[in-house]
Structures are given as structure tokens and as C-alpha cells.
Structure 1
Amino acid sequence: MPRVCFTLQVDPARLHEYRARHARVWPEMLAALAESGWRDYSLFLREDGLLVGFLVTDDFAAAQAAMQACDVNARWQAEMAPFFLDLHQGTADRAMRPLDEVFNLEAQLAARTGETP
């Protein structure tokens, strides 16, 4: 199952409020993410505002499209946009760019034993 990692930049002056918002994500947003195929989704935030996201999904493009079709996502993105720096495409969900995975321990261990990770 594909794993996706991405980065965004949060305004360092707004880290406390960004953390607080994510401590109480709207229940309908949580449900929309789960129903759209976002699994094992986590966000990691560094003190300089670097945000790293990680999720597992069958099809990232389809999961993104499903979220973009949700009204709750449009409302969430509008509220969260001011927290981010350099959003060239307007909202964080459209600005995220997946990173290339260059190493996976389980995959390499499985390849040595002939197993499927």
C-alpha cells in the first residue's frame, strides 16, 4: 500500500494556534478523511514551522480528489490557509507535494527474505 510523505511551511509566529487547531479537528473533517481513504495520517511540526505529513492510501490522487469534493474540506482549508507560508495554489491541500521515498527498512528486509512487506 502506497505511503505518502509531504512537507509544507507553517508561519512560525502561529505555531501555538496551529497545534491547538489540530488538537481539536472537527469530527466531520476526521470522518471525511477516513471515508476518502486517508489512513495512518499524521502531521509532524518542527519549531521553525516545517510541517511533515505522512499517510497511507491506496491512491493518493483519488484520496485528494475525494477530499476536494467535500464541503467540510473547503471550510477547513479556508480556515487553515492563513497559517501557511508560500501557498502558491491557495490552499495547503493543493500545495502539498509528495516526497520520493528513498529507503524503507521493512521493504529491504522483506526483499532479503523474499517476503512481501
Structure 2
Amino acid sequence: MTATSGGGRAPVRRFGKLIRLRPEHREEYLRLHAEAWPEVLATITACHLRNYSIFLEGETLFSYFEYTGEDYEADMAKMAADPVTQRWWRLTDPCQEQTEGAVPGEWWTPMREVFHHD
């Protein structure tokens, strides 16, 4: 994760995270994300996340997003408190398994940004 100037606004913070996709849930996970719920997408936007992407390689999921708000922890708490997002996670979380590098309090394993160029 890194910060860059946003022209007088809060700095843009970039995040990369990893998690393992359980092979037996692959098709379900892909179907859910092909039909992502509009309410979940609206919450992502309301919590100041943009350019949110999830990539798949083998059994590894890689997520990337940019955070444009001013209080990441508060926005993530807001997302976690959203009832529709909670229902979404009850469907998607069983499809996933934490990686060996997981840290306490984080479902997805955070990655360290080592290079960025605008």
C-alpha cells in the first residue's frame, strides 16, 4: 500500500491483497462476481473504494483497489456493518481460505507495494 497526492484531496492509497479460492467453490465464486449485487457495489463506492478488481490465477485470488477517503478504518467498519454486504460475505467467505501470510484481523492477506508509476 502506498499514498500519492490527490490535488488537495485525501491521498490515494493503493491496496493489493491475496486469498486462496477453494477449488470446490470456484464456479460459485465466479458466478457470484459475474452477477455482483448493485447494493454491494454501491457500498464499495460509498466507502471510497475505486478501481476495485479481483484477479484469479490458479487457486489464488488477488484484489486491487484504491482508497480515496480520509478514514480507512471507519469506512471499512461502515462496509462491515452494512447488512447487504454481510449477506454477500456469508456467500463469498466460504469460497475462500486464508493464505499462510494472513495477519490477525484481516481476512485477505495484505501485500506490500514495491513499485508504482503514474
Q: Could you tell me which of 67, 75, 91 is aligned with 1:63? A: 75
Query: Aligned-pair distance for 1:61?
Result: 2.6
Alignment of 1:23 onto 2:30? no
Secondary structure, aligned partner of 1:101 = coil
**Which structure is higher in strand share?**
2
Query: Aligned-pair distance for 1:97?
Result: 3.0
Residue deviations 1:65-103 (CA, integer Å, cap 9, x gap): 22112111111111112101248xxxxx94123211011
Flag as ranges the 4+ runs of structure 1 deviating above 4 A.
Answer: none
Counterpart of 1:18, as a letter, is: Y
**Which structure is higher in helix share?**
1
Counterpart of 1:24, as a letter, is: E
| RMSD, aligned α-carbons | 1.9
Quick check: 1:4–1:60 contact (8 Å CA) kept in 2?
A: no
Quick check: 1:38–1:63 contact (8 Å CA) kept in 2?
A: no
Secondary structure, aligned partner of 2:36 = coil
Sequence identity percentage: 30
Q: TM-score, normalised by structure 2?
A: 0.75
Q: Distance in 1 between matches of 2:77 and 2:17?
A: 16
Secondary structure, aligned partner of 1:95 = coil
Count residues with an aligned counterpart. Answer: 100
Q: Could you tell me which of 57, 61, 65 is aligned with 1:51? A: 61
**Who wins on radius of gyration, i.e. which is larger?**
1
Mapping 1:1-117, distance limit 5 Å: 1-47=12-58, 49-58=59-68, 59-86=71-98, 94-106=106-118
